[in-house]
Amino acid sequence: MWVFTSAPHQHKLLLWGRRLHRPVSASRVGSHLASYHVTATLLCPEDRSIKPVVKKQHRHKPVASDGWRDDERSVQGKERKNQRKGDVHRVSSELRKLCLEDSPAERERPLIQKLTLDSKAESHEVVFGIAPCLLALTQGRRTARKLFVKDGEASHRASVLKVCEEACRRGVQVQRVSKKDLDRMSSGRVHQGVCLQASPLSYLTEDRDPAPSSKDPPLWLVLEGIQDPMNLGAILRSAYFLGVDGVASSLHHSCPLSPVVSKASSGAMEVLGVYGYENLEDMLKLKVAQGWQVVGTVGAEADESRIPVTRSSDFQMTKPTLLLIGGEGEGLSQELLSLCHTLLTIPAGRDLFPGIESLNVSVATGILLHSLLLSRRPSR
């Protein structure tokens, strides 16, 4: 803690703590204040044994020149504020080094100049949001090139620091930019103060089944023509949360695995592998030959179908199952409906007005997945 004392000809600055240091002349105040500010906030966050002690002067009030008093109050205020933040300042040595080496001149460069320095920027996209960026770094399915972090107080949040530490650990460059730059990079979407320039994710094309997540009969989710990235992201989030064993999607008339999908899935897209097929019909026929059952979905009014229609709450899953979900508008195609052994429906809880007699596709998918996964382990 800095304490001022009054002298006839010059003001002196004393440092009080565990021990008394020799006085520092007034000509060196500016540099010591700057040094103290850096070390208090970055280099010594874990040292909490030093308590601020202010030596009050009753007879002679210090007359600060050149803004000394304002600097003292600013340092004291920031120190108290930093002490309240607790875990926010418990950061790794890599991140401390990053903060010290991040010069103001580098931060003030236009964002366009920084991006053009990367010769491979054209083959990359911008992932945004805390969870998508963190999982994109940790899962290793993308090649990360640069992490952009909002400058200011937001960069000291624990969640943001965790992403920065992960980037430093993996040798990914971290750059502070303004909120306006991040808004531009994320096309105005909610980025939570971080954007990651990384290689895109594509649908998996490996011709093998993922390992089942349990000893129960596996459940695959098959998507046909899901075009809204927000719906696809919500579906992937539910599938991951509920424990689906695999996800497959048609490659035609379906939205790509974009950063918007990743953000809508809260990063689940970075973890859950999604297989893409040129022809879902051929894939389903192959699965049926291996002993799988195909379960489709219809509205409650589809009574004229020749395929049995069952309430989702009454269905019992006793064998490997493929749950088919159609697009937002047309639903399942006739080619896929013809391969279904059973059609599931979600009964409404009241009489419905025209126009609102159906559910959003992501909400319906969550309900159906929960019913099927719960029915395959009734003992639990």
Q: What is the third-level CATH fold of 219-375?
A: Alpha/beta knot (3.40.1280)
Q: What is the pLDDT of residues 288-297, one digit of tens each?
A: 999 999 999 9
Which two tokens mark 236? 């992937």
Residues 6+ apart with CB under 8 A from 369: 219, 221, 238, 239, 242, 244, 323
Please tell me the distance from the alpha carbon of residue 68 to that of residue 30, in angstroms, as a whole number.
Answer: 8
- 3-state SS, residue 283: helix
Query: From start to end of 228-288, where are the E strands?
Result: 246-250, 274-277
User: CB count, 10 Å around CB of 327?
Assistant: 19
Q: Are 165 and 89 in contact (CB under 8 A)?
A: no
Query: From start to end of the chain, where are the E strands?
Result: 2-5, 12-15, 24-25, 125-128, 144-150, 173-177, 194-198, 219-223, 246-250, 274-277, 293-297, 309-311, 321-325, 342-345
The DSSP code sequence of 9-54 is S--EEEE-SSSPPPPEEGGGHHHHHHHHHHIIIII-TT---PPP--
* The predicted structure's pLDDT at residue 373: 93
- 3-state SS, residue 100: helix
**Nearest partner of 295 among 262, 254, 263, 326, judged by Cα:** 326
Which two tokens mark 196? 């990651």
Question: Start-end ranges of CATH 3.30.1330.30 in the chain?
Answer: 93-198
Global confidence as pTM: 0.69
pLDDT beneath 70: ranges in the chain = 1-122, 154, 206-214, 300-305, 377-380
Please tell me the distance from the alpha carbon of residue 275 to that of residue 160, in angstroms, as a whole number.
Answer: 31
CATH 3.20.80.10 holds for 93-198: no
Q: Are 309 and 343 in contact (CB under 8 A)?
A: yes
User: CB count, 10 Å around CB of 185?
Assistant: 21
* The predicted structure's pLDDT at residue 377: 66
Angle at 249 between CA 247 and CA 251, to 5 degrees: 150
Question: Start-end ranges of CATH 3.40.1280.10 in the chain?
Answer: 219-375
Burial class (CB in 10 A: 0-12, 13-18, 19+), 143: middle
* The predicted structure's pLDDT at residue 14: 38
310 Cα distance to chain centroid: 38
Please tell me the distance from the alpha carbon of residue 235 to that of residue 30, in angstroms, as a whole number.
Answer: 57
